[in-house]
Chains A and B, each alone.
Chain A
Amino acid sequence: MEKEMKVAALCNGTVIDHIPAEQLFTVVEILDLKHCSGQITIGNNLDSQKMGSKGIIKISDRFLDESEANKIALIAPHAKINIIRNYEVVEKRNITLPEEINGIVHCPNPKCITNNQPVTTRFHVITYKDGIRLRCHYCEKEVEQNNIKIN
């Protein structure tokens, strides 16, 4: 049986699928879609066999490069990014966590310079045996992955 199309097909652009529903609007923010003039389709709380419910974003005529794609790795590590040209998937991008994250994550330390002076946040991704943490480049405090807050 053919599945009902809840989100319109895309001619050219980027599809970001399998976004955890609760992170959808954070992804919108990270990619600064508010200032994107092309057509954007956003679906959320869609049924997903794998995830229960998911979000999806389709951006017309914009092709995310690797560094843009990696920005969402922190909050949606299992998202799928497909580049579409003429209704065909021409490229599947893998998301990998970058070694350094600039300007996206908020430092939770109120005494950190990034919360007191006009300084952009900067974090180093540290891999421990039991998971990933972000270390603030400035105040050197570490943030666990599940405590990450996006600016």
Chain B
Amino acid sequence: MKSNSLVSISDYGKEEILEILDLAAKFEANPNQKILDGKIVATLFFEPSTRTRLSFETAANRLGARIIGFSDAATSSSSKGETLNDTIKIVSNYADVIVMRHFIEGAARYASEITQTPIVNAGDGANQHPSQTLLDLYSIRKTQGRLDNLNIYMVGDLKYGRTVHSLIHAMYHFNPTFHFIAPDELKMPEEYKQFCRQHNIKYTESTELEGHFDDADILYMTRVQRERFQDLMEYERVKDVYCLRNSMLDNTKPNLRILHPLPRVNEIDMDVDSNEKAYYFQQAQNGLYVRQAILTKVLGLNL
């Protein structure tokens, strides 16, 4: 079954990505537009994710939609052993669009194949989280005035961090130069470097952060998680090396902006927050406008 679902960032080509960003800019200028009046948005969170759910639900509310759903699989019938197939078919009878988050990878793709109701993937395990990618792109374009020819540094957990993987796929339309900075344990996987080579995207790799990003336009920080390390002494060593401090920003370009998908732990020192180059809180706010744009587009509507 073919639908308007948004499961993976690769579902959208360059034109569709730009369409979402333009639509999001209109919502930022005027967030309260009741174009989903009378529509029902289902938010099915088989795994809790408070920030993403609140962002989608706020987006739906600002568009005038009503919301049904659950925020934890324990309160849904999947805890009784119901298959995803059955849950999706039932909810499709009620809702005009389904926003779903699931711990199983590929769950959203599968859901999009068994219903005509558009599915918006709000995260499927370590796989895809396209609304995050689109809000990253929106934040990059808003702060740099363009998406083309940017110098993008990615720092931290590049092995498991799905946001950086999706960003590589999305930025490929815009001739970026990537710089991957990570400890050996958390290096960018070969498959994404191969993607870069295949598409003639320039990239460098390094294990050192301090003093190595002065030509950056975007510094994309990610969380280095303790549970990813087999050797905890290695974690203790690494966690401070990949911590960004205000003093490290002295020689950076004026247009540099620091992004982070949040939540952060200690990879960005609080003393960076007051620097005008810190952009992660505004980035999260941009998610609201982008999600308004996504809900509008998957329902085939426009402003």
Q: Beyond A139-B127, A140-B8, A140-B128, is A113–B105 a contact (Cβ under 8 Å)?
A: yes
Residues of B within 8 A of A129 (CB): 197-198
Residues of A within 8 A of B198 (CB): 128-129
Asked if A17 CB lies within 8 Å of chain B CBs, one says no
Asked if A48 CB lies within 8 Å of chain B CBs, one says no
Closest B residue, CB atoms, query A119? B110
CB-CB contacts of B6-41 with A at 8 A, as 1s and 0s?
001000000000000000000000000000000000
Asked if B125 CB lies within 8 Å of chain A CBs, one says yes
Complex Cα distance A133/B195, Å? 12
Q: How far is the CB of B192 from chain A (nearest CB, A)?
A: 10
Asked if A118 CB lies within 8 Å of chain B CBs, one says yes
Residues of B within 8 A of A113 (CB): 84, 104-107, 109-110
Complex Cα distance A89/B227, Å? 61
Q: How far is the CB of A105 from chain B (nearest CB, A)?
A: 14
Closest B residue, CB atoms, query A140? B127
CB-CB contacts of B165-201 with A at 8 A, as 1s and 0s?
0000000000000000000000000010010011000
Complex Cα distance A61/B70, Å? 56
Closest A residue, CB atoms, query B189? A142
CB-CB contacts of B141-171 with A at 8 A, as 1s and 0s?
0000000000000000000000000000000
Closest B residue, CB atoms, query A109? B105
Q: Which residues 75-116 in A have Cβ within 8 Å of B in the complex?
A: 109, 111-114, 116
Asked if A24 CB lies within 8 Å of chain B CBs, one says no
Asked if B235 CB lies within 8 Å of chain A CBs, one says no
> Which of A109, A119, A141: most chain B CB closer than 10 A?
A119
Residues of A within 8 A of B126 (CB): 111
Q: How far is the CB of A148 from chain B (nearest CB, A)?
A: 15
Q: Beyond A128-B198, A140-B127, is A117–B105 a contact (Cβ under 8 Å)?
A: no
Closest A residue, CB atoms, query B191? A142
> Which of B84, B105, B125: most chain A CB closer than 10 A?
B105
Closest B residue, CB atoms, query A127? B198
Asked if B302 CB lies within 8 Å of chain A CBs, one says no
Residues of B within 8 A of A137 (CB): 106, 109
Asked if A57 CB lies within 8 Å of chain B CBs, one says no
Residues of B within 8 A of A117 (CB): 83-85, 104, 107, 110
Closest B residue, CB atoms, query A135? B191
Counting chain B residues whose Cβ lies within 8 A of the other chain, the interface size class is: 20 to 34
Asked if B103 CB lies within 8 Å of chain A CBs, one says yes
Contact between chains at A138 and B109 (CB < 8 Å): yes
Q: How far is the CB of B82 from chain A (nearest CB, A)?
A: 11
Contact between chains at B125 and A139 (CB < 8 Å): yes
Residues of B within 8 A of A140 (CB): 8, 105-106, 127-128
Contact between chains at A111 and B110 (CB < 8 Å): no
Residues of A within 8 A of B105 (CB): 109, 111-113, 138-141
Residues of A within 8 A of B197 (CB): 129
Residues of A within 8 A of B127 (CB): 139-140
Complex Cα distance A136/B194, Å? 17
Q: Beyond A111-B126, A138-B109, is A116–B194 a contact (Cβ under 8 Å)?
A: no
Q: How far is the CB of B86 from chain A (nearest CB, A)?
A: 10
Complex Cα distance A111/B85, Å? 17
Contact between chains at B8 and A138 (CB < 8 Å): no
Closest B residue, CB atoms, query A115? B104
Residues of B within 8 A of A139 (CB): 105-106, 124-125, 127
Residues of B within 8 A of A114 (CB): 106
Chain A interface (Cβ < 8 Å from any Cβ of B):
109, 111-114, 116-119, 128-129, 133, 136-142
List 15 contacting pairs A-B, 8 Å CB cutoff, sorted by A. A109-B105, A111-B103, A111-B126, A113-B104, A117-B83, A117-B85, A117-B107, A117-B110, A128-B194, A128-B198, A129-B198, A136-B106, A138-B110, A139-B106, A141-B105
Closest 9 CB pairs of A and B: A138-B106, A139-B105, A113-B106, A139-B106, A111-B105, A113-B104, A111-B125, A138-B109, A116-B104
Contacts A111-B126, A113-B110, A114-B106 aside, 13 further interface pairs with beta carbons under 8 A come to: A109-B105, A113-B84, A113-B106, A117-B83, A119-B110, A128-B194, A137-B106, A138-B106, A138-B107, A139-B124, A139-B125, A140-B8, A140-B105
